[in-house]
Amino acid sequence: MKIREDAARIIDASIRAVLPDEAVARALKGFTPPTGRLVLVALGKAAWQMAKAAADCLGGAVSDGIVITKYGHAGGDIPGLRIREAGHPVPDWNSFDATDEAIRLVEPLGENDLVLLLISGGGSALFEKPLCGPEALADLTGQLLRCGADIVEMNTLRKRVSAVKGGRFAQLCAPARVFAIVLSDIVGDPLDMIASGPAYPDRSTAEQAHAVVEKYGLRLPPEVLPLLDRPLPRRLDHVETRVTGSVRELCAAAAGACRALGYETTVLTASLCCEAREAGSFLASVAQYHADTVKPLAFIAGGETVVHITGTGLGGRNQEVALSAARGIAGLVGAAVFSVGSDGTDGPTDAAGGLVDGTTCGRLAAQGISIDRVLSDNDAYHALVRVDGLIKTGPTGTNVNDVSVLLLRPRA
């Protein structure tokens, strides 16, 4: 149990280190309120926590504002702000309605006013005013989630069918200035892709959007196809953007927690972007190579994997990373792999990720459960339930990608 206790401590320390409170306060250092109105718009899975931090920093300077976050992610009332919860990863009517409310807040603003825009991952679904019908948008989103496209590919398409993505929301704010604080959930911090870049000039092209469609054989609704060629803003001179918080900080925090527990620690990458089951297999290969270690070792990989959905089960990318690793570390004493989403939710589940050790594969087999079959059906959640392998943190208030950790302890 020692290695599982260590995993719990590492997860807790890692997430606490990337909560938005300090990050938002750091980004607001030296901030000067406008001579006119200051309107706050927060969107994404970390929106409530970011808005609370900003409100605490700015006191009564905020004139009005709205927080749009995922169901279950709001932590209560924030004086002066409207709190709205909406659908993720597929937009719903609450997404559309809350976005319309945000637009109504900013459209009357003048050149002496300022929009404080707080952006975090998940905003692509939560903040949406589609240029196509809701059914067509749901169809496109569903195909993108199933086909294995990465977040950049997904957002290259999603921004083109939206009235608020790809810099279009910033255009709606003009002539008011926009000060955007971004909590990054995409490897490399591409500002035009985080939450589909509501206040950042578009860097993608229509040709790239069509290439994504061709690559994955997407069947676009007829009303969507012409939208791919509509131009997006290339310049937004009234916008200032600051990135605060990223997966690099998450990995650094995990590494610090590992070292504090006595592990010799290596950060392998903060740019993991392969299939989830390939990431799990890779971590298991690292475990096999170091299986005879004489000292505790930790290997860390941060980023965001993808899942190509072929089945009808329940799970998420982090659960698939862990379950895939279980095959390769089967029988290894003192080995464990866990993978967790920093936002506390992994796929359409109530779990943040999964944890396995050298006994997991055998315990599943004893119950007649084949890991290969489970992964083919994308049903990692129900398999991990059977071996006490789900990690549940609840919504964390942050969102800076995922972290996967391999722990190895010497054999007794």
Confidence of residue 1 (pLDDT cuts 50, 70, 90): low
What pLDDT, on a 0 to 100 scale, did the predictor assign at position 285? 98
Task: Dump pLDDT digits (tens) for 297-330.
Answer: 999 999 999 998 999 999 999 999 999 999 999 9
> Considering only CA atoms, which of 349, 399, 401, 402 is closest in space to residue 47?
399
Cβ-count burial 186-196 (b if 16+ within 10 Å, e if not): bbeebbbbbbb
Angstrom distances, CA of residue 345 to CA of 211, 247, 316: 30, 16, 9
Beta bridge partners, 179, equal: 116, 240
Mean pLDDT of 69-79: 94
Q: What are the backbone dihedrals phi and psi of residue 252, each rounded to the nearest 5 degrees, phi first? A: -65, -40
HSE-up of 57 (CA within 13 Å, CB side)? 22
Burial of 210 (0-12, 13-18, 19+ CB in 10 A): middle
> Minimal CA–CA distance to 181: which of 139, 234, 120?
120
Whether pLDDT at 13 is above 70:
yes
Tokens of 209: 């959007």
Largest Cα span, the chain: 69
Q: Give yes or no for a contact between 168 and 198, defined as CB atoms under 8 angstroms apart.
A: yes
Q: What is the per-residue pLDDT across 258-274, written as a single tens digit (0 to 9) for each?
A: 999 999 999 999 999 99
Q: How far apart are CA 52 and CA 217, in angstroms?
A: 42
The CA distance from 201 to 192, in Å, is 6
Chain centroid offset of residue 214 CA: 25
Range from 128-132, 186-190, 289-293 carrying the lowest mean pLDDT: 186-190
Tell me the pLDDT tens digit for each residue of 87-113.
998 899 999 999 999 999 999 999 999
225: which 2 tokens? 């196809």
pLDDT at 245 over 90: no
Distances (CA, A) of 25 to 57, 187, 294, 303: 7, 23, 43, 25
